[in-house]
Structure 1
């Protein structure tokens, strides 16, 4: 019996050490803040309800929507933030768009998802 327990203990120890050594996953709050900051620094315009707004206004608007959702525990991930705050107007239901210099407008959900993928790809590992 003891001979069988030793390999199981080794496997368990390996699993624990491998998990502990893995790079930490970024918190949803950090990723969401990085998304909002990236939009603010992008130089792009943000369309909501038919009007274009500069990046700083877009940033303020998304922070306000995020604060509302966060306070009510309605956002548990960056993907939920994009879906619930960054994709469309809560009032009109109209989709948001992002227009960057020299590029055609795109759905804000697509822009934010692409930026999230970039953030995750370039995140430093420990």
Structure 2
């Protein structure tokens, strides 16, 4: 093998590995809707034992989403929920959400329900199943 073949092969592998798909426009809208859902509510968001209001939750989730985008690790709203909105990446503790008049629940369940509602109320952008 020529001396330049190894660096070229490494470059090709690096490019192939980073050529993952970015979130579609529909996925970006859904994720933005999920991030904003807490901010417009009277719900509280718990992470690592501390409660936060909607604006603080939105800012935290946006930072996590931005990080995942840079790493090409989120393509769908489901991946956003799983990788950013369900648990602390530091402690592994599940996030929780408490809304007035409703039982406290895990953030994964809460965001899953919001995603379902977003899709039901969204214009027909998804093909029929």
Task: State if a TM-score over 0.5 links the two structures.
Answer: yes
User: How far off is 1:39 after superposition?
Assistant: 1.5
Provide the rounded CA distance (Å) in 1 between the counterparts of 2:124 and 2:83.
29
TM norm structure 1: 0.77
User: How far off is 1:26 after superposition?
Assistant: 5.8
Residue 76 of structure 1: aligned partner = 75
User: How far off is 1:38 after superposition?
Assistant: 1.1
Matches within 5 A, 1:27-46: 27-46=26-45
Matches within 5 A, 1:3-42: 27-42=26-41
Residue 96 of structure 1: aligned partner = 95
**How many equivalent residue pairs?**
102
Indicate yes or no: 2:118 matched with 1:119: yes
- Encode CA deviations 1:52-103: one digit per residue, 9 max, x unaligned: 1001100000000000001111001000000000000000000000000122
TM norm structure 2: 0.75
User: How far off is 1:121 after superposition?
Assistant: 0.1
User: How far off is 1:42 after superposition?
Assistant: 1.4
Provide the rounded CA distance (Å) in 1 between the counterparts of 2:28 and 2:59.
16
Provide the rounded CA distance (Å) in 1 between the counterparts of 2:26 and 2:103.
32
Residue 58 of structure 1: aligned partner = 57
Provide the rounded CA distance (Å) in 1 between the counterparts of 2:99 and 2:27.
25
Provide the rounded CA distance (Å) in 1 between the counterparts of 2:77 and 2:38.
14
What is the root-mean-square deviation of aligned Cα atoms in Å?
A: 1.4
User: How far off is 1:28 after superposition?
Assistant: 1.1
- Encode CA deviations 1:25-56: one digit per residue, 9 max, x unaligned: 86211110011111111110000000110011
Residue 105 of structure 2: aligned partner = 106
